[in-house]
Amino acid sequence: MYDLIFAPFIEFGFMQRALAGSLLLSISACPVGVFLMLRRMSLTGDAVAHGILPGAAVGYLLFGLDLVPMTIGGLIAGLVVALGAGAVSRLTLQKEDASLAAFYLISLALGVLVVSLRGSSVDLMHVLFGTVLALDNAALTLIGSIAIITLVGLTIFWRGLVAECLDPLFLRSVSRLGTPVHFVFLALTVLNLVAGFQALGTLLSVGLMMLPAAAARFWVNRVETMCLLAVLFGAVSCVIGLLVSYHAALPSGPSIILAAGAIYLTSVLVGTRGLVRTRLATRRHRTA
């Protein structure tokens, strides 16, 4: 048991940093994922995650694999995609899903092209899929800072976020906080995707944000409990994924996301609101 579970995290510093970074991401990103899901904006997170790529790629092109330029570039690009898609949907006849798809495809192609101008296929894989086992102290500091900002922001705007999930039109009719809360939430989403980019890359960062949140939806109804359960699912996914990656010599990022996917599929089947219990309740109701 010790060699299987505890030894990798006790004996190796890179595993300790990977665990710390992924747990911080779970604490920060999973509650944001819950609100994305409740607001039916799950694909928005995916689009913004891809939108980070060209900014991070430009930082890489100019400064190499330097954390600060890639982070700043990714943050700027993510905000441009989120705000640009929102502006197009509000100022034109095009719906938000179509504008997000357009920005996402342009960003993905542009980012891959920029990385290819200087780097190799290995560099492209690093940007797309991340290297959670290579997190250093600077990356951990960045992820920890974003986690603190996210938790503070969620605490301050909690009531507005919950109200906008339930009835955004009512919130805008009784308060002027509707639009500011929306943009604050978009900023928190971009920040967490930038943090996830450091560990999981642009293609997988949204996975740790959305899969635990979607799994928690099958167990509880209250938003507060859902956020806590999503964080728990995210943390368990990180531990399992890192252990599988270590013992089976598999890529760490995909292992973490597949572990989260396994928890999601299990929740779909046996959660309190999953398929099995729903079918049983339906049968009991029919036979009653």
Report the pLDDT averaged over residues 154-159: 92
The encoded tokens of residue 146 equal 């974003």
Most trustworthy range by pLDDT among 28-32, 45-49, 133-137, 168-172:
28-32
Q: Give the whole-number percent of the chain exceeding pLDDT 70.
A: 90
Cα distance between residue 90 and residue 93, in whole Å: 8
128 burial level (CB within 10 Å; 0-12, 13-18, 19+): buried
What is the mean predicted confidence (pLDDT) over 138-153? 93
Side chain identity at residue 139, one-letter code: A
- Measure CA 52 to chain center: 12
Confidence of residue 214 (pLDDT cuts 50, 70, 90): very high
Average pLDDT, the chain: 85
Whole-angstrom distance, CA of residue 189 vs CA of residue 66: 22
The answer to whether residue 122 scores a pLDDT higher than 60 is no
Count the helices and strands in the chain (H runs, E runs): 13, 0
Pair of tokens at residue 177: 């906080």
Question: How many CA within 13 A on the CB side of residue 151?
Answer: 13
pLDDT at 30: 96
> Residue 45: helix, strand or coil by DSSP?
helix
DSSP-derived letter for residue 131 is -
Give the Cα separation of 259 and 134 in Å (integer).
20
pLDDT tens-digit readout, 162-212: 888 777 666 666 677 767 887 888 889 989 988 888 788 777 888 999 999
The pLDDT of residue 127: 67
What's the pLDDT band for 23 if we cut at 50, 70, 90? very high
- Whether domain 2-208 has CATH 3.10.450.40: the reply is no
Q: How far apart are CA 160 and CA 226, in angstroms?
A: 17
Domain ranges for the chain, please list them.
Answer: 2-208
Q: 222: alpha, beta or left, given left = phi > 0 and alpha = psi -120 to 50? A: beta
DSSP string, 239-280: HHHHHHHHHHT--HHHHHHHHHHHHHHHHHHHSTTSHHHHHH
pLDDT score of 174? 67
pLDDT over threshold 80, residue 64: no
Exposed / middle / buried, residue 41 (Cβ in 10 Å: 0-12, 13-18, 19+): buried
pLDDT of residue 72: 86
Check residues 288 and 131 and name the one with the higher pLDDT.
131
Residue among 248, 18, 237, 28 at smallest CA distance from 132: 18
What does the alpha-carbon distance between residue 130 and residue 64 come to, in Å, rounded to a whole number? Answer: 15
Pick the range with the lowest mean pLDDT from 5-9, 92-96, 180-184, 217-221.
92-96
Higher pLDDT, 44 or 270: 270
Asked if 195 contacts 28 with a C-beta cutoff of 8 angstroms, the reply is yes
Residue 118, classed as helix, strand or coil, is helix
Cα–Cα distance for residue pair 95/85, rounded to 1 Å: 9
Q: Which residue has the higher pLDDT, 241 or 202?
A: 241
pLDDT band at 277 (very low <50, low <70, confident <90, very high): confident
Residues 6+ apart with CB under 8 A from 132: 18, 21, 22, 199, 200, 242, 252, 253, 256
Is pLDDT larger for residue 250 or for residue 61? 250
pLDDT score, position 119: 59
